[in-house]
Amino acid sequence: MWNHRKFRMPDGAEITGHQGDSYEVRVSVPSDDDGFFGRQCPACSMSFRIHGGDYEALPDDLMLWCVYCGHHDDHSDFMTTQQRERIIRAAGDLGMQLISQGFEDAFRGLSRGNSRRGVSISYEGKPFYPRPLPGINEERLVRIRTCSECQIRYAVFGEHRYCPVCGQLPAAAVAFDALQADAARLDALEALPPGAKAVLREQGVFTRSWVDTIENVVGVVEALGSAVFRAAVPDAEARLRGKGNVFQRLDDMAALFVAAGYDDVRPELGTQTWQRLAETWAARHVCTHNDGIVDQKYLTKVPTSSARVGQRLVVTETDCRRAIDDATALCRALNELTS
């Protein structure tokens, strides 16, 4: 019968089993003030966080997904660096006590008397006092996500495509999260101190960010439209053959769904919203393919523009926020077409 009580373990570590020369040690991983603790992908090394209560309710043989790269492995492989250091400290303290016990067992019963011809060996053990386990001080969460499928709460620190438990996220969830991320970036830039804003504005960071937002908005709608169409239309590939990147072209995309038997999203969104979307798409085309230089194709799409051919298009924060709102409405309409 093994006696684990003869070993001293630090707060947060407990010996829970023993078989032969092996000891099973449970080491706690403290959660932050919001109830979340860290996970780190063994493939891409990026970190995310999961709600501790939700995690405890999951099965012991859980296989986790990296929310960023989609690596899929045993949940124990997703320990963070700080968590691993905590476990190593506990294992090291147990190891020191096992070694000490080994010496005590080896010398127990040996004579300590003097010998004229032999060597006298003595060993005196000393009480072992474990060191406190290292604390966990990892990056705090910013915004909590809740998976629509399994309801697990988690937090990420970058663009992600997977739920840590369910795997691949629905295309609509990815789209709405991406649009919210672009809005958050605009908010973050606006919230900078005046001095920092002035430096970034002078270096063109704001302008570049606004152009990126317009390009991102179009990309989000393109990805969602493609995913929705391919999932809902049995002969999608045949219908798409020869049409090029049809999901980058607003009217062609809408007509594609109509031809497949679905409602036309244009009347639902309204003429004004659809025209604004057309202007966003035209701005994206100019910025992406013509370095922002206005051409006749742009002026045809945006007849109310005061720009002239050859001028460089100016994108503003107002344009971006309007584009995000309009794209959100379009994504919602696309997602509801086949639901």
Per-residue pLDDT tens digits for 65-111: 999 999 999 998 998 888 888 777 777 666 666 666 666 666 665 54
User: Both tokens of residue 270?
Assistant: 């309204």
Residue with tokens 């003097």: 114
Rg (C-alpha) for the chain, rounded Å, is: 31
The dihedral through the CA atoms of 45, 48, 52, 57 has a sign that is negative
Beta carbons of 134 and 85 less than 8 angstroms apart? yes
Q: What is the pLDDT at residue 9?
A: 73
Q: What is the pLDDT at residue 12?
A: 64
Q: What is the pLDDT at residue 88?
A: 74
User: Both tokens of residue 107?
Assistant: 């010398």
Per-residue pLDDT tens digits for 7-59: 777 666 666 666 666 666 676 677 888 899 989 999 999 999 999 999 989 98
Which residues of the chain fall short of a pLDDT of 50?
Answer: 1-3, 111, 113
Q: What is the pLDDT at residue 266?
A: 96
Q: What is the pLDDT at residue 312?
A: 94
> Sheet harboring 153-155: ordered strands across?
36-40, 47-51, 153-155, 145-146
Distances (CA, A) of 224 to 209, 221, 243, 247: 22, 5, 17, 9
Helices (H), 17-77: 52-56
DSSP string, 76-117: GGG--HHHHHHHHHHHHHHHHHHHHHHHHHHHTT---S--SS
> Could you state, in order of their start, the residue ranges of all structural domains in the chain?
170-337
Q: What is the pLDDT at residue 85?
A: 80
Q: What is the pTM of this model?
A: 0.76
The dihedral through the CA atoms of 187, 188, 191, 192 has a sign that is negative
Quote the CA–CA distance of 86 and 136 in Å, as a whole number: 8
